[in-house]
Amino acid sequence: MRYRITDWTWAYDNYANIPDSQAWPAAWVEPARAAREELVSAGRARLDIAYGDHPREVLDLFLPEGEVRGLVVLIHGGFWMALDKSYWSHLAHGSLAHGYAVAVPSYPLAPEVRISEITRSVGQAITHAAGLVRGPIRLVGHSAGGHLVTRMISHTTPLAPNVSGRIAGTVSVSGLHDLRPMIHLARNATLAIDKAEANAESPALLEPLAGSRLTCWVGARETAEFLRQSALLANIWRGLGIETDSVEEPDRHHFNILDGLADPHHPLTRTLLDV
């Protein structure tokens, strides 16, 4: 069946396509606050660690009980223009239970900065966190965060080799990997993506770092464009010689797809940590 997108904004509008979507992102606030309080009380949290000069260039670091096996860096979504680290703290639970420290950074947002600058900022956050925790690094990002973590393992990564070389695996959850369609969205009035930036910042148009391992994870109830974007990168980068997988999780949409990260036994957490 032939198909052509006529309303780009609708094709990427999760709120218009998910029943009861107004419950998010507020549904994450209380679980995240409770998780931070619990970890602070246990002496297992360091909050608001500065990794750059911008007021939003801060990260929270959560520590497991006992020996630290490595570092997970969780990069939040929000279409490069919304949200911050405070919404996601509870999603550290799955990785913490397996002995991984978890860093959750905020980063500067559009329209104050361009996406290329956000990429550099996230690179700074990962570099700083890598200096605080030894061992392998595993990256996970949601939506725009999925774009940002896959930029970290593309050949124009802002990471130095001593950091990128420690990345053992990357999971892009509902990620946006080809930014060219974003030019047609109403949100581009804020993002200001042009063709040059779309070409330079789209992982699907870039080569992956040799030896990278990527899983693109998406909810089966997401829009056709998010499903396409997820499968796209796994397909292209597999053809460029790295190990990739593409997973559609049944009965999950763009928001509740993240729930698995809070559960140490969920396949999403186990895939991220390769356990």
At 208-225, the pLDDT tens digits run: 999 999 999 999 999 999
Helical packing angle, 144-152 and 115-132, nearest 10°: 60
Rounded CA-CA distance 176/134 in Å is: 29
The pLDDT, as a whole number, for residue 158 is 98
The pLDDT, as a whole number, for residue 24 is 76
The pLDDT, as a whole number, for residue 109 is 98
Question: What type of residue is 39?
Answer: L
Edge-to-edge strands of the sheet including 137-142? 45-50, 58-62, 100-105, 70-75, 137-142, 167-173, 213-219, 243-249
The pLDDT, as a whole number, for residue 234 is 98
Question: What type of residue is 244?
Answer: T
Name the average pLDDT for the chain: 96
Mapped onto helix, strand or coil, the DSSP state of residue 87 is helix
Q: What is the mean pLDDT of each run of 10 residues along the chain (275 residues)?
A: 86 81 85 98 98 98 97 98 97 98 98 98 98 98 98 98 98 98 96 97 98 97 95 98 98 94 98 95
Looking up tokens 């860096």 gives 73
Q: Hey, which residues does 245 pair with through a beta bridge?
A: 215
Q: What is the pLDDT of residues 53-74, one digit of tens each?
A: 999 999 999 999 999 999 999 9
Residue-wise DSSP of 26-53: HHHHHHHHHHHHHHHHTT-EEEEEE-SS
CA nearest 193: which of 267, 115, 89, 108?
A: 115
The pLDDT, as a whole number, for residue 25 is 84
What are the boundaries of each domain within the chain? 8-273
Q: Which CATH superfamily is domain 8-273 in?
A: Alpha/Beta hydrolase fold, catalytic domain (3.40.50.1820)
Alpha carbon separation from 30 to 15, 26, 88, 90, 236 (Å, rounded): 20, 8, 10, 9, 38
Supply 109's token pair: 């947002």
